[in-house]
Structure 1
C-alpha cells in the first residue's frame, strides 16, 4: 500500500530529524527544508500529499509560504507544527489554508492525528486552542486583516527579510530582483503606513507577525 508523502519544513534541524523517526513508520518523508522559499520549491519538485510546516522560518515565514502555496496547489494539505500558543497565529494559519495546527510540545500522536485528518479533508486544531480559536473568530471585527491584505506578496517578502536584518543588497540577491526594486517596495510600505525608518519597519513587521 502506498504511503502518504510528507514534506517537512522547519528551520530547527534537530527538531526535524526527531520528527523523521516519528513519521517514517507510517509515511514517506520526501524531504526536509529549512525556510519558506525552499518549501515552495520542494513542493514543486517532490509533490507531497501533506506539508508539515513551522510558523517561524527565515526568508519566508510559514504562514506566508502557505498562503502562496495555496494559490497554485490548493489540493496539498498543510499542517502547522509550531511553538506559538497565541490564538492569532492559529487563526492566520487557517486563513492561509491550513488543515491542522499542532503545538510542538503536544503528544506525538497529535501530529499523526492531524496529518491523518488532513489527508481525509478534515480540520484539526490542538485541543488547548480549540475553544480560544472559536471565541476569537466570533469576536473578530470585520476588516481586521486590512494591513495584511494591503501588502502584496513581494512587499511581504521584502518586509520579512528587512525585519530579519538583511541589507537591501542581500534582499535583492535572495529574491533575485534589483536593489532599486527592493528600495521601491521598502519605501512604498513606509509611505503607505506612515513609517519613518527601518526600525519602524521592523516594529511594524513584528506587530503584524510578518
Structure 2
C-alpha cells in the first residue's frame, strides 16, 4: 500500500530530524522546509497529503501560511506541531483550517495519532488543551472585534517581516511586490489601527502576535492516543 505523503515545516533542524524518525516507518516524508514562504512553494510543487507545521517560523508564521494553503489546497490535512501551550494559538490554528494540534514535547506519543485522524478528516487536539479549548468555545464572544483579525493576509505578511527586522526593500523582495506597495500596506495599517508610527506598529505586532481568531472547533477524533481505534 502506498504511504501517505507528508511535508514538514519547522525551522529547528533537531526537531525536524526527530520528527523524521517518527514519520518514516508509516509515512513518506517528501520534504522539510524551514520558513512559511518555503512552505507555500513546497505545497504547490509537491502536493502532499498532509502537513506537519510549526507555528513560529521566519518570513511567514505557520498559521497565516496555512490560511493561504487551505484556499488553494482544501483537501490537505494540516497538523500543527508546536511549543505553544496556549488555547488562543490552538483556536487560531483550527480557524486557519488545521485538523490537529500537538505539543512538541508530546510528539512521540501523539503525533502519529493526530496525523491518522487528520487523514481521515477528523480533528485531534492534545489532551492537555482539550478541556480548556471546549470551555473557551463555550465562553467566547459571539463576535470578535480583535484588531489584528481585521488585517488582510498581505498586511499580516508585511507586518511579520517588518517585526522580524526586514527593511521595506527586503520585505518587498521576499513578497515579490514593490517597495511602494510595502510602504502602502505599512501606512494603511498604521492609519487603520489608530497608531502614530512604525515603532507603535511593531509594538502592536508583538502584543498581538497570536492573531487570535474566535472560530469554532469541533473535537471529532480521539482525545488520547490510548483511545484510538
TM over 0.5: same fold? yes
* Residues 79-88 or 164-173, more deviating: 164-173
Measured in 2, the distance between the counterparts of 1:41 and 1:81 equals 20
Following superposition, the deviation at residue 12 of structure 1 comes to 0.6
Q: What is the count of residue pairs matched by the alignment?
A: 210
Helix, strand or coil for the counterpart of 1:80? strand
1:4 to 1:205, Cα distance in 2 relative to 1, 3 A: same
Q: Which has the higher contact order (CA 8 A, sep 6+)?
A: 2
Q: What's the Cα RMSD here?
A: 1.1
Following superposition, the deviation at residue 202 of structure 1 comes to 1.5
Measured in 1, the distance between the counterparts of 2:151 and 2:143 equals 14
Measured in 1, the distance between the counterparts of 2:21 and 2:146 equals 41
Alignment of 1:50-199 (within 5 A): 50-144=50-144, 146-199=146-199
Length-normalised TM-score, structure 1: 0.97
Helix, strand or coil for the counterpart of 1:196? coil
Deviations 1:147-184 (A, max 9, x none): 24421111111001011111111101111111111100
Helix, strand or coil for the counterpart of 2:192? helix
Length-normalised TM-score, structure 2: 0.89
Residue 20 of structure 1 corresponds to which residue in structure 2?
20
Deviating runs (4+, > 3 A) in structure 1?
Answer: none
Residue 31 of structure 1 corresponds to which residue in structure 2?
31
Q: Which consecutive residues of structure 1, in runs of 5 or more, have no partner in the other structure?
A: none
Measured in 2, the distance between the counterparts of 1:46 and 1:93 equals 22
